[in-house]
Amino acid sequence: MAPRGRSRVLATAAAATAALWLAGCSATGGGKTFGVQESFGSVATYSRLFDATPGQTCEASRRALLSQGYIISTATADLVEGKKSFQPEAESHLQMVVRVVCVPEANDGKVSLGFVTALQDTYSLRKTNNSASLGVGAIGSVSLPFSSSSESLVKVGSETISKDVFYESFFDLVKRYLVIDQAQAN
């Protein structure tokens, strides 16, 4: 076989090998795949019915969050959002955001449905060392080293809280504030 024909055969074989390799990579995904993280059901982990108007339910939710040290960032008649920070370790930081949406459930507006979700963001302290040297041209080749370090929080995770116990305790506290409000109204 002539040298020119041999190089065409080699080029064709290399192209075919590369195509098979790429097809194999795409078939295995090349990256990490995750299954479906959600399954919808009738379990009421994130919602409860209250014998109160949406405004009363959201106000009771606001007071429940305040009683636990949350900083309220949004408070309207149908939405309350609060944030609270935690530091479980010296170089770890957690931030919990709780959001409550209150909607009417009955036509007369005296029964409401409260939807609650809690999101927990995790941050880690990252240290960065920076160094530089300074050469002084007039004196010669004298270098004075300067170094510094900086620290910053880097978000390393985010998760919707899905524990029933967390939501049960929140809903119990909201009910307590609704009972207090109803007692004061009578």
Q: Is 110 helix (H, G, I), strand (E, B) or coil?
A: coil
Is residue 185 in a domain? yes
- pTM for this predicted structure: 0.68
**27 pLDDT tier (thresholds 50, 70, 90):** very low
User: Which domain covers residue 179, as residue numbers?
Assistant: 45-128+145-186
Number of domains in the chain: 1
CATH at residue 87: 3.30.310
What residue type is 1 in one-letter code? M
CA-based R_g, the chain, Å: 30
Is residue 64 in a domain? yes
Asked if the model's pLDDT at residue 11 lies above 50, the reply is: no
Is residue 154 in a domain? yes
Asked if the model's pLDDT at residue 20 lies above 70, the reply is: no
CA distance linking residue 70 with residue 7, whole number of Å = 72
Q: What are the pLDDT digits (tens) for 138-168?
A: 655 555 555 666 778 889 999 999 999 999 9
Query: Residue 157 corresponds to which tokens in the numbers above?
Result: 């995770």
Distances (CA, A) of 145 to 34, 107, 137, 139, 166: 48, 74, 15, 16, 53
Query: Residue 123 corresponds to which tokens in the numbers above?
Result: 């941050």
As a whole number, the mean pLDDT across the chain is 80
